[in-house]
Chains A and B, each alone.
Chain A
Amino acid sequence: MLNYFFHSQLSLGLAECLVAALLALAVTLLARTRAPGLLKELPLAELRGVIQIVAVGAILAFMLRGPQWTSLLVLIAMMLAAASIVRKRAKKIPRAFMLALISICTGAGIVLAVMIVFGVIPLKITMLVPVGSMVIANTMNTQSLFLDRLRGEATSHVGEIESALALGASADAAVLPYLNAAFRACLIPSVDNIRSLGIVWIPGIMAGMVLSGASPLYAALYQFVVLTTIFSASALACFVSSHLVTRRIFTVHEQLLLR
């Protein structure tokens, strides 16, 4: 119906956004007794979201005219943003920004680099930016989960951790069971995504590839590639941060800082 009125792709896109946004607003209006605050928040969130994503689209359009390596700059900016979001989530952990930045850069960075070297992810803006952003975003989520879970485990086992210290254990040994528990827990969503692939959900990138004309079979295989890459990047990032985090939650004299 819309394409009857709008002929350029851009105006059509904007009109489509408007329909989706109004629908969301209508649903919220209907459900306003459940979450009164949401009604105030939503229009602003929608406006913000649309501006951000349009800006990204515009930058991509601009980059497409330039050299392909500029996509690397975009990924670096994304990693910085991801680290600052993890820091907000892990407020109780001192110096969490550097921790998250180092972990995300090593995890996502190394895994993406390997995939690029093998040509699995082509060094093309149209592929590297969307796939890279998925990998980085998921690595970020896993990092937040890891640090939050670790904080939770440690603060609910202060007695055990300090008992271990009091028996002459190193900080690493005292916190080890809780590090391992957090590590296992934060990777569960990533493993479950691989397990449920295709049955429970057909993720966005496959939908996108099919929409833009790739063979559904190739798109399906590529979806597996993306999800396992996400797992590798997340696991590597957590591995790195599990080694760096002890120095942040203990003092140099092996005193527990969290409580």
Chain B
Amino acid sequence: MLTCSQLGRTLPPPEARTLLSDVNFTLERGEVLAVVGPSGAGKSTLLRLLNRLDEPTSGAVTLNGIDTRTIPPRELRRRIGMVMQRAYLFPGTVAENVAFGPKQQGKNISTDQIDALLTHVGLAGYASRDALTLSGGEAQRVAITRALANEPQVLLLDEPTSALDETARHSVEALLESLIRERHLTCVWVTHSIEQARTMAGKVLAVEAGRVSAYGIAAEVLHA
């Protein structure tokens, strides 16, 4: 279970601008929350507060009832995985990218496990390919696989399909949908597309200029 109460972030002085304030939501295991809103509203900021890439200046996030500030950041980020708008793959092979997360914990993920993961996301036989020469859609699949290799409970998705063309977008969407269902992933999905929010998410959080303008069941919020 993932909850957020009165969560916010104000930049330190001299800028002292409030990027986000008073965000509240509760997600049960396996629920998907779509975060929608105009550019610059604070959607990415919200995700970064959830896995603590940025420090909240107010409120709290809890994961399974535990305040995330009491979990060491590395541990937290393993439990709350993230996929960004661009893949940002590391130089090296696809397999090395997938093995990156487990390796940080000193764990070794076997080549069989890597192959199985890659097959699952439709990238069978890609293990030894150069990560930096992949197409946008392939790279994004590797980024998703890389996050899954840590076996997270929560997945944060920051417009994971917005840099892709129509076909690649549909296939990555379908992939994410099946992964979320199979693994009962709790998911916070930032999207520009109302259509995507409607099809993917059970709940919707609309953000405007750093404030929540609507929150609730997807069908109700998106209908209004």
Contact = CB atoms under 8 A, between A and B. Distances in A.
Interface of A: 159-160, 162-170, 173, 177, 251, 253-256
Interface in B89-116: 90-91, 100-101, 104-105
Contact of B82 (A166, A169, A256): A166
Interface in B198-212: none
B74 interface: yes
A168 B84 CA distance: 15
Interface in B33-76: 51-55, 73-75
A56 to B, nearest CB: 39
B78 interface: yes
B77 interface: yes
Contacts of A162: 53, 84, 88
Interface of B: 51-55, 73-75, 77-78, 81-82, 84, 86, 88, 90-91, 100-101, 104-105, 143, 146-147, 150
A253 B88 contact: no
Given A159-B86, A160-B90, A163-B84, A170 B51 contact: no
Given A169-B74, A170-B74, A255 B53 contact: yes
A168 B88 contact: no
A159 B158 CA distance: 12
A256 B78 CA distance: 17
B74 A254 contact: yes
A159 B104 CA distance: 18
Contacts of B78: 167-168
A90 B72 CA distance: 30
Given A163-B143, A167-B104, A254-B74, 16 more contacts: A159-B86, A159-B88, A166-B51, A166-B81, A167-B78, A167-B100, A167-B150, A168-B77, A168-B104, A168-B105, A169-B100, A253-B73, A255-B52, A255-B53, A255-B54, A256-B53
Contacts of A166: 51, 53, 77, 81-82, 84, 147
Contacts of B55: 251, 253, 255
A167 B147 CA distance: 6
Contacts of B86: 159
Contacts of B73: 165, 253-255
A160 to B, nearest CB: 5
Contacts of A164: 90, 100
A169 B88 contact: no
> Which residue among A164, A166, A170 has the maximum number of chain B CB atoms within 10 Å of its CB?
A166
27 contacts: A159-B86, A159-B88, A164-B100, A166-B53, A166-B77, A166-B84, A167-B100, A167-B101, A167-B104, A168-B77, A168-B78, A168-B101, A168-B104, A168-B150, A169-B74, A169-B104, A170-B74, A170-B104, A177-B91, A253-B52, A253-B73, A254-B74, A255-B52, A255-B54, A255-B55, A255-B73, A256-B53
